Amino acid sequence: MAERVLVTGGAGFIGLHLVRRLLADGAEVTVLDDFSRGREDSALLEVRDHVTVVPYDLRRPIDSTHLKGDWDTVYHLAAVVGVARAQQRPAHVLRTNVLTTVNLLDWCERHPPRTLFLSSTSEVADGAMALGLSSFPASETVPFAVPDPHAPRASYALSKVVSEALALHAGKDTRMRIARYHNVYGARMGHSHVIPQFIDRLQRGENPFRVYGPTQTRSFCHVDDAIDATVALARLPHADPRVVNIGNDQEEIAAIDLARLLFDLAGCRPRLELLAPPPGSPQRRLPDLSAARRWLDYRPRVALVDGLRRTFDWYTENAAGEAR
């Protein structure tokens, strides 16, 4: 019998990539999304006839008229993301992300799935690393700390650590899986993150080319690798909860060098304008993937230059691509 799966936020960036993978694996998939960012573009239309789509705002409680029956796995990806949104509307980010988790968990209590997967973030660990409370690479066990809890950007990390706690303390009949995604990138990720922003500005011919925080480093993870780890984590048979970093620890790169790689793909060499980093932006981000390797046998496969080429090509062909 086919696995019955619900994906909240399934019209978004990671969500739709996950839906494609689950369909390829033979699952019966329902997508729940409010389409505030995910949209009915050609990518969603390609799978539309093979999934059930439920337009729904998870800030409202779920009743049985919207989702019926029992579920094997629920992937909870719906959230407000992006630094700009946290800076501009921190209360909205915090309230929305916590409410969606509360309402989903309330529904899961009435209709317990076998497995509940919650998407979290590397930003949960950023505060502790910035305060020197642990050393790099950042493991899942670093203490949660917020250098300035009243800063707008802190709203996202706060919303995710609260969601993690709610999930971990929820009912015992469901296997809890929490993934802390680290700088996942790829086709159809919208325009709110550094890689598509760089690509957009290169396509507009920006010169001089601005790089904020040129010495800040990240280790980017292609979405195909992230999906492999996501599915492996959700299918892990252990009964006890798991919190696992998902990322790529092999190719840490400074922002200025990321820009130069994209210059090569674009076939241009604009003059660089090096600027101060955005407020609250971490100097470094590098995940410890020991748990993912031990439990999931996870090894990132997509080299950064290959993933950037795929992403650059997609944005060149889909200049209006917009998703979470």
CATH number, domain containing residue 223: 3.40.50.720
From CA 196, how far away is CA 188, in angstroms rounded?
A: 9
Establish if 272 belongs to a structural domain: no
On whether residue 85 sits in a domain, the answer given is yes
**Is 45 part of any domain?**
yes
Q: How many domains does the chain have?
A: 1
Largest CA distance in the chain: 58
Rg (CA), the chain: 19
The reported pLDDT for the residue numbered 319 is 73
What is the C-alpha to C-alpha distance for residues 199 and 191, in angstroms, rounded to an integer? 9
Which residue, among 141, 116, 74, has the nearest Cα to 239 in the 3D structure?
Answer: 116
pLDDT score of 321: 43
Asked whether residue 153 is assigned to any structural domain, the reply reads yes
Q: Is the CB of residue 15 less than 8 Å from the CB of residue 38?
A: yes
Nearby residues of 111 by Cβ (< 8 Å), 6 or more positions away: 67, 69, 70, 71
Is residue 110 domain-resident? yes
Number of H helices, E strands in the chain: 11, 13
The pLDDT of residue 196 is 97
Cis amide linkage into residue 237, ω under 30° from 0: no
Residue 268 lies in a domain: no
> Residue 32 phi/psi, 5° resolution?
-115, 125
The per-residue pLDDT for 39 is 61
Whether pTM > 0.85 for this model: the answer is: yes
Q: Which residue range forms the structural domain that includes residue 130?
A: 4-187+219-250+286-301
251/249 Cα distance (integer angstroms): 6
> Does the residue 194 lie in any domain?
no
Amino acid present at 74: V
In the beta sheet, which residues pair with residue 29?
5
Which positions ≥6 away from 174 have C-beta within 8 Å?
108, 112, 113, 114, 115, 116
pLDDT of residue 43: 86
Instruction: List, in sequence order, every beta strand (DSSP E) within 196-246.
Output: 209-212, 217-218, 221-222, 242-246
Could you report the average pLDDT of every consecutive run of 10 residues in the chain (324 residues)? Answer: 95 96 98 81 89 96 88 97 93 98 96 96 97 97 96 97 96 91 96 95 97 98 98 96 97 98 97 95 98 97 98 88 41
Q: What pLDDT, on a 0 to 100 scale, did the predictor assign at position 69?
A: 84
Q: What pLDDT does residue 223 have? A: 98
Inter-residue contact 180 to 124 (CB < 8 Å):
yes
Q: Is residue 280 part of a domain?
A: no
State phi, psi for 321 to the nearest 5 degrees: -55, 125
At residue 111, the pLDDT reads 92
